[in-house]
Structure 1
Amino acid sequence: MTDTALDKSLTEKAKDAATTAQEKVSAAASATADAAKSAASSTRDAAKSAASATVEAAKDNPYTAAGVAVAAVAAVGAVAYGVSKLAAADKPKPKPRAAPRKRAPAKPKAAPKK
C-alpha cells in the first residue's frame, strides 16, 4: 500500500467513526428528549388531577377546606415569627449606657468684698 492509499483509508475510517458517533449521540439525545417530554406530560397530568381533586374536596367540604387554609396560614405565620425571633436573638445586644452624672448645684458666688 502506498502512503496516499493509507491516508485515504485512515481518513475514511475516521469519517466512518465520526458518523457512527454522531448517529449514536443523536439517538441518545432523541431518546432523552422523548423521555423528558413523557415525564413532563405525566407530571402535568398528575398536577391537573391533584388540582381537580383538591377543588372537588373543597366544594364537598367547604368548612373543612377553610379550616385547612386557616391552619396553613397560621403555620406559615408561626414559622415567620419564630425565624424573626431567632434572627433577633443572633444580633449582639448594645451595651447599656451609664446614667449621666448629676452635677452638684452651683455654689452661689460670694459678694465681692469691699
Structure 2
Amino acid sequence: MDWPNACLGPAGADVGHCGLNLAQFYGVEAADAFLLAYMDRAGASFTYHPYWDLLSLFDGLAGGPPQVYGGWKAFGMTGLTDRIVAERIDRYQASLINRLGGN
C-alpha cells in the first residue's frame, strides 16, 4: 500500500484506508478478509468501528468519481479500469451500509 501520509494515529484510519484500496484493487471480499485477519492478529488491542471505513470511502471520493490512480499502473495494477474501480466502490459502499445494519 502507498501511505504517503502515514503517521502515528488511530489504527482504524490505516485499516480503513487499506480496506478501501483492497476493495478497489481486488473487490469487497479482499477488503473483508483483510479486516478479519487484522482483527484476529491485533486481538484486544484493536477495536473495530466502521467509522474509519466510511471516512476513508468519503475521502477517496472527495476528488470526484472513482477512477484508476495513475501511480497504480507503475506498481503492476494494470488490469483496472475506471469502470471496474467504480463498480467495486459501489459494492464496497453497499457492504459498509450492510455492516452498519442498513439495507
TM-score w.r.t. length of structure 1:
0.19
**Bigger fraction of residues in helix:** 1
Give the greater-gyration-radius structure (CA): 1
